[in-house]
Structure 1
Amino acid sequence: MSPTVSVIIPVHNGSKTLRACLAAVYAQRHPVTEVIVVDDASTDDTRRIAAEFPCRLLVTDRNTGPAAARNRGIRASGGELLLFVDSDCAPEPDALGNALAILAAQPDVACVHGIYALRPLFDDGPIEAYRLLHGHYWRLRHVGRVRTTLFAVCLIRRSVFADVGGFDERLRASEDVELGDRMGDRYGIVLTDTVVCRHDDDDHLGRLLRKQFSRSQLLVPVARAERGPAGIRANTPAGLLGAALVPLTLPLALHTSGLLAIPLAMLALFVAADPGLLRFVLRQRGPGFTAFFYAVHLLVQLTVVAGAVVGGLRHLLDRNFGPAGVAAAKSPR
């Protein structure tokens, strides 16, 4: 007998994408047992759209973040397996079936998560194309057994939450990464390119940079909480270092034009830090878009570095900034 599968979709102001997300969930070739939409205090048409489908709708009266929304969905669900789908994602029809096949073939695996397709859910222009190229590439680079969980589209055994607990509701980002770290070596985790979803990603540069700055502030606290080897990383340390050194060395060129070679060398280091990414973007979109890609990528990497520095300082000054596990470790006994 096939295990029961509960689908949990946390959403906040997802009227643009929720209909496509739910349509894709109900179009899975392997049937689902129940679908639970957790509306995290939306102010748009999210609830009306959810009512178009035979799903169960849970509504919160204040915005508490994706971790709390997912936890509420877990408590309300009854499936042996839980399929988490972000509201801006539309899984391909075979996504659930392929994830189930991996669980059946590898009994020690408790969690299977997938990758973004190169084709967006809605085509909103070049910034979104940049995001999807990068997001697809770094996930594809890590396909296989991993220590990190990413919950954009993710099938996980219910028993995991009874053992390690739910999502850390103090986190507004990286809550899935932190959960995967708690799973540690006790549970097998697989990232696979057979579980694919189309994603509606950021399409405005300013919004993208603001989100990256906010999310990257949790990089240091979450890294400090890690109990084992580092998990999946979207960016290479050399790339982040090269990006940071470009503006730091630029004043040298302003002082003496002959020193322009130094920031240019740092820019070359930044581009060459991940040669696989360079080849991938060139192959997919050609040299013209590759130049655009790296211009945006430099701004994003600089924003990530700035956010990490700010977050690291906040973490030093406030022991409650970061995962609950870190704060507990710092608390006097």
Structure 2
Amino acid sequence: MAPEANHEASTYPGVSYVMPVLNEAGYIEAAVASIFAQEYPADSEIVLALGPSSDGTDAIVERLANADPRIRIVRNPGMDIPIGLNLAIAASRHPIIVRVDAHTELAPGYTLRGVQTLERTGAASLGGVMSAVGRPGFQSAVARAYNSRFGLGGGAYHGGAHEGPAESAYMGIMRADALAQVGGFDETLRRGEDWELNYRLRQAGHLVWLDPELQVRYWPRSTWSRLARQFHSTGIWRGELVRRLGGKNPLRFFAPPALVIVTLLAVVLLPFHLTGLLSGPIGMLLALLYLGPLAYLLLLLVAGIAIDGSLGDRARFVLVLATMHLSWGIGFLIGVVRGARDAVDTSRTES
């Protein structure tokens, strides 16, 4: 991360890494170490937006900051990610902002490649590909689901995409002046802030870019309850964005809530079919609803068979997929019907 030579450093803009941090004792040091390993040939700094953690994270961050003057701390007492990001960006000194999460690790050469792509394309915001990893057991199954085409619904940053203009940017590398022009992250959102920011950048005429050569290692939630709460909260806030922006949201976001609705209708109608209260043409027409959950069960079965591993590995993978889809879909419907209100991602704050 330190300059290699003065003449080379002068050709590259300075970079500020911004990171919201809350209850990340098991991950924060690796995230910071991946930044220090970047060998970016110009000035750089790390600005950590530190929330009131309860797991010893604060002491770790204080130790890291005391050991290296390139790390600075801004306090984020409200804990919300968009507020923390805006606080860190406001405290930053450089024209390029690189977002890093405490659950992520940047691949070697990430920053240099990202800045070069930013300059080559003229983009205001760009991102790369998430590469989820997990410790053996449940977290490994979650990582496998993140990386699977069955998992997160086809977002380009989950792999398989080609370089080019994009809808959003994962862990964005951004121009500070463009962020200032659109007002930074929307502090009324608690999830989906990246997508919404890049939407406003695109609306303002800026280019958002995907470079699949950029790799970010991501450590997902490691327990079932945390995963369910994370996806439920994310779904709620996506529902809130649909309330705000309507059909400007991609169609893929509507698949999980559609599955939830069809499944609920099938559960309600099943007793009527079994008892013969629903029959004739109407009954046959309504029976088509069962195709939805049956097709989904078949999809889960195929997904479980397609992966390598033991029977336990396959069962965990299928459980994770269903948890992601159904938790997200239920949350989405809640967010659309009543709005997000004060919904919080408790997977970050509770055990």
1:106 to 112, 121, 126: 121
SS of the residue aligned with 2:111?
helix
Summarize deviations over 1:69-109 as a string: whole Å, max 9, x none.
Answer: 111111111111011100111111121122122112212x1
Unaligned 5+ runs, structure 2: 1-10, 277-283, 344-351
Residue equivalent to 2:236: 217
The answer to whether the 8 Å contact 1:314/1:321 transfers is: no
Residue equivalent to 1:312: 336
The amino acid of 2:89's aligned partner reads I
Pick closer, same or farther for the CA change 1:48–1:287 going to 2, 3 Å. closer
Residue equivalent to 2:187: 169
Once the 2 structures are TM-superposed, how far is the Cα of residue 238 of structure 1 from its aligned partner? 4.1
Residue equivalent to 1:159: 177
Asked if residue 269 in structure 1 is aligned to residue 295 in structure 2, the reply is yes
2:57 to 46, 51, 56: 46
Q: For 1:160 and 1:282, how far apart are their aligned partners in 2?
A: 46
Once the 2 structures are TM-superposed, how far is the Cα of residue 286 of structure 1 from its aligned partner? 6.0
Pick closer, same or farther for the CA change 1:236–1:166 going to 2, 3 Å. closer
2:146 to 122, 134, 147: 134
Q: For 2:181 and 2:264, how far apart are their aligned partners in 1?
A: 46
1:8 to 7, 14, 18: 18
Q: For 1:240 and 1:228, how far apart are their aligned partners in 2?
A: 15
Q: Percent identity?
A: 21
Residue equivalent to 1:296: 320
Q: For 2:299 and 2:211, how far apart are their aligned partners in 1?
A: 25
Residue equivalent to 2:281: none
Residue equivalent to 1:77: 92
Point out the structure with max Rg over C-alpha: 2
TM-score (norm 2): 0.75
Residue equivalent to 2:44: 33
Pick closer, same or farther for the CA change 1:110–1:273 going to 2, 3 Å. farther
Unaligned 5+ runs, structure 1: 323-333
Residue equivalent to 1:328: none
Summarize deviations over 1:118-144 as a string: whole Å, max 9, x none.
Answer: 434xx1523443345325643225554
1:146 to 166, 179, 184: 166
TM-score (norm 1): 0.79
Q: For 1:101 and 1:283, how far apart are their aligned partners in 2?
A: 38
Q: For 2:309 and 2:257, how far apart are their aligned partners in 1?
A: 24
The amino acid of 1:117's aligned partner reads S
* C-alpha RMSD over aligned residues: 3.3
1:184 to 197, 202, 216: 202
Asked if residue 201 in structure 1 is aligned to residue 224 in structure 2, the reply is no
Q: For 1:302 and 1:22, how far apart are their aligned partners in 2?
A: 34
Summarize deviations over 1:169-216 as a string: whole Å, max 9, x none.
Answer: 121111122111111241111223211121121111112112222221
The amino acid of 1:102's aligned partner reads T
The answer to whether the 8 Å contact 2:237/2:335 transfers is: yes
Asked if residue 125 in structure 1 is aligned to residue 117 in structure 2, the reply is no
Aligned residues: 308
The answer to whether the 8 Å contact 1:243/1:298 transfers is: no
The answer to whether the 8 Å contact 2:48/2:72 transfers is: yes
Q: For 1:12 and 1:93, how far apart are their aligned partners in 2?
A: 25
Residue equivalent to 1:331: none
Q: For 1:103 and 1:77, how far apart are their aligned partners in 2?
A: 19
2:308 to 252, 268, 285: 285
Pick closer, same or farther for the CA change 1:192–1:257 going to 2, 3 Å. farther
Asked if residue 64 in structure 1 is aligned to residue 76 in structure 2, the reply is no
Summarize deviations over 1:229-249 as a string: whole Å, max 9, x none.
Answer: 435x7x564454235423431
